[in-house]
Amino acid sequence: MPENKPTAPDTAIRLTSPNHTPVSFSVLVQESLHQSPAGYTFEVTSPDLLSGVGKTCFYYLNGNDHLAYLNLFAKLARDFNMRLPQNRQEKQIKPTFKAPLRAVLKTAVHPEILYGYGDPAVIRVDTAGSSCYYVVATSNDAPNAFPLLRSRNLQDWEFVKFIFPAGKTPEWATAGPLISDYWAPEMHLIQNQYHIYFVARDKNTHELCIGKAQSDNPEGPFVPDKKPVLRGNVIDPHVYVQDAETAYLYWKEDNNAIWPGLLLDVLYHHPDLIATLFNEGPDQITTAFICTLWPWAKDREPMERFLITQIVIEAVTERYLLFYEQLAALSQYQTPALQTQIREVLRFMKTPVYAQQLAPDGKSLVGERFKIIQNDLAWEAHLVEGVWVTKQGTHYYLFYAGNDFSTDQYGIGVAIADLPIGPYRKMAVPVLQSTAEWWAPGHPSVVKDPAGKPVLILHAYYPEQAGYKEFRAMLAVNLIFNPDHVLLA
């Protein structure tokens, strides 16, 4: 049945599948720019695979957020036998991993904390015989960026302020729904100044950059630098302070935001490869549909582009290592130009994490850059990110997240080294995965509790509520460190 459509769309574009696509589509996209949020109508036509008779369905999106696109692809799966989004699949097997997780913050302690406590970075500040804990967290595209909270016991928290309240964001960074992404802040004491490193998008290029703000007080006010510390497709800054003179910045190259576009460029111009790379019928149909949308989708803002292409990303990451090997083998039989394109896809299907020493003022990098880890285990799929380094005894333990943050496949891994810059040896399996009570545990930090015991602070979603801008709770679990592995206590 057709759904209600806007009566006066501002823009319309007709898209058709390239020749030799396994399943052909004709899609009319109508967009209303005067609505807030933007609204879309999709008129989708394709022959029925069984009867061969053309079939047309209409879909209206009242917005361009994650929920809207998940709902769209769930309906397309029903009508055209496409792949069902992972977050819309009825779970036949519920997560069975067990972990003694404690809920620390389950609700917003301030009405302007819109999305909870993603990427929670906790530090302990010891002064005059007492201790206080501070946490800063991701705010996505909320008008007020980076909530700052404090606690005396790691359990009872009170709101302090937003690091960048509405209208006070850094001059180099953009702001606006689905345009700004204020992610992964961390506070650290470096040479008697409290530095907050964070991710935001450059207002001119919209590329993800790592910025910094500082204060002589952990409760601010924090003054941002006039330019980023590091530019160009970088996220998830972490700082390990080794001593009064030496600190290292760790970050991830956000290549998982790049390879899907490169792959779709290849498949759009060489659609005959779709059937070779995707074995399942629903995956072939889905990829053919996204390739049809690609001339329109590739010009969306980065976050919206991810929401549109996530369904293909899931088809790849479900068999990520095999897909990677298959694509590498396939490239050998292509023209030199296509070989070059495929090699670029393969390069960006790895997400390296780097480390480099910070200058004494914390505003720039000095010395050699080291590759610390990258995604190479099956459970990590297409990415590793969100690292935190802690020294316990004589070893350095690097906690990190892997897989898709918006699904129950996300988890936390550990790698161990003798030096802060590695080489790091990964544990073969994640130390923490989704449980029946909490999904997608990720982006941890490590701090000593009031009794001096190490505790892992992390975020997670309520079951079946994972997704971009869904609420993330803050959880805690104690740790036991061994020379070659870590246990949850």
Instruction: Set out the domains of the chain in order of their start, with CATH numbers.
Output: 11-91+257-348 (no CATH), 102-254+351-488 (2.115.10.20)
Catalytic residue among 141, 301, 314, 385: 385
Is 202 annotated as catalytic?
no
Other C-beta atoms closer than 10 Å to the C-beta of 96 total: 9
pLDDT string in tens for the chain (489-residue length): 334 444 444 689 999 999 999 999 999 999 876 666 668 999 999 987 666 678 999 999 988 899 999 999 999 999 999 999 998 888 667 899 999 999 999 999 999 999 999 999 999 999 888 899 999 999 999 999 999 999 999 999 999 999 999 999 999 999 988 889 999 999 999 999 999 999 999 999 999 999 999 999 999 999 999 999 999 999 999 999 999 889 999 999 999 999 999 999 999 999 999 999 999 999 999 999 999 999 999 999 999 999 999 999 999 999 999 999 999 999 999 999 999 999 999 999 999 999 999 999 899 999 999 999 999 999 999 999 999 999 999 999 999 999 999 999 999 999 999 999 999 999 999 999 999 999 999 999 999 999 999 999 999 999 999 999 999 999 999 999 999 999 999
Catalytic residue among 31, 119, 141, 380: 119
Give the chain as a 3 state SS string.
CCCCCCCCCCEEEEEECCCCCCCCCEEEEEEECCCCCCEEEEEEEEECCCCCCEEEEEEEECCCCHHHHHHHHHHHHHHHCCCCCHHHCCCCCCCCCCCCCEEEECCCCCCCCCCECCCCEEEEEEECCEEEEEEECCCECCCCEEEEEEECCCCCEEEEEEEECCCCCCCCECCCCCCCCEEEEEEEEECCEEEEEEEEEECCCCCEEEEEEEECCCCCCCEECCCCCECCCEEEEEEEECCCCCEEEEEEECHHHCHHHHHHHHHHHCCCHHHHHCCCHHHHHHHHHHHHHHHHHCCCCHHHHHHHHHHHHHHHHCCHHHHHHHHHHHHCCCCHHHHHHHHHHHHHCCCCEEEEEECCCCCCEEEEEEEEECCCCHHHCCCEEEEEEEEECCEEEEEEEECCCCCCCCEEEEEEECCCCCCCEECCCCCECCCCCCEEEEEEEEEECCCCCEEEEEEEECCCCCCCCCCEEEEEEEEEECCCCEEEC
Is 385 annotated as catalytic?
yes
CB neighbours of 336 closer than 8 A, spacing ≥ 6? Answer: none
